[in-house]
């Protein structure tokens, strides 16, 4: 456990805080988007989801955070930084299925995008997703972890 503190650069306080969050009932945290905090495209996507999520039901966590590492480990998920994960209804979705489920979980027009993604065969949708994910730094650059505004902080975990 001491090594994980060193490896991830997290303080003991952060680890305790993460454990407390994980031990709470996650009923109000039913929609969590896990993303690569150093990816320009991923950070753009998070900004986009924040703007279109009028009911503010989506929560976000960088895959590099102590919260994401512990939460996904407890769900037996091996973290791949080139993958977006979406936790919803006690299930974890990844890649194109995560994107589809995120849009389906939103209001009004945005559900149509989820429905359109559903029309594409999963193997093809994941192939497109993986191509973009492999080239994301070339296409969109690398960035430091996103720093949420004061108003957004309550929607970011860990």
How far is residue 118's CA from residue 100's CA, in Å, rounded to a whole number? 7
Mean pLDDT of 18-40: 72
Locate all alpha helices (DSSP H) within the chain, ordered by sequence.
Answer: 2-8, 12-23, 40-52, 66-74, 95-105, 109-119, 122-134, 136-140
- Reply yes or no on whether the pLDDT at 98 is more than 60: yes
83-93 confidence digits (pLDDT tens):
999 999 999 99
* Tens of pLDDT, residues 132-141: 999 998 888 7
User: What average pLDDT score do residues 65-76 get?
Assistant: 95
Distance (Å, rounded) from C-alpha 9 to C-alpha 92? Answer: 26
Return the pLDDT at 1.
Answer: 37
101-105 CB contacts, 8 Å cutoff, 24+ apart = 102/31, 102/33, 102/49, 102/58, 105/31, 105/57, 105/58
Each residue's pLDDT tens digit, 50-66: 999 988 999 999 999 99
**What is the reported pLDDT for 141?**
78
d(CA 64, CA 53): 23
Give 20 or 68, the one with higher predicted confidence.
68
Give the residue extent of every domain in the chain.
2-155
Phi-psi domain of 76 (left: phi exceeds 0; alpha: psi -120 through 50; beta: other)? left
How buried is 2 (Cβ within 10 angstroms: 0-12 exposed, 13-18 middle, 19+ buried)?
A: exposed
pTM: 0.81
> 114-154: per-residue pLDDT in tens?
999 999 999 999 999 999 999 998 888 787 666 788 888 89
């Amino acid at each position: 456990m001491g090594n994980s503190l060193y490896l991830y650069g997290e303080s003991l306080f952060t680890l305790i805080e993460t454990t407390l969050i994980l031990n709470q009932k996650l009923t109000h945290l039913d929609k969590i988007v896990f993303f690569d905090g150093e990816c320009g495209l991923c950070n753009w996507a998070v900004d986009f989801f924040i703007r279109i999520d009028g009911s503010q039901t989506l929560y976000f966590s960088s895959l590099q955070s102590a919260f994401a590492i512990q939460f996904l480990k407890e769900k037996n998920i091996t973290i791949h930084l080139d993958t977006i994960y979406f936790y919803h209804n006690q299930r974890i979705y990844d890649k194109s299925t995560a994107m589809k489920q995120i849009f389906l979980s939103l209001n009004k027009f945005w559900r149509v995008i989820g429905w359109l993604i559903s029309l594409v065969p999963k193997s093809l949708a994941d192939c497109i997703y993986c191509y973009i994910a492999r080239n994301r730094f070339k296409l969109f650059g690398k960035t430091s972890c996103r720093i949420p505004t004061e108003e957004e902080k309550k929607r970011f975990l860990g």
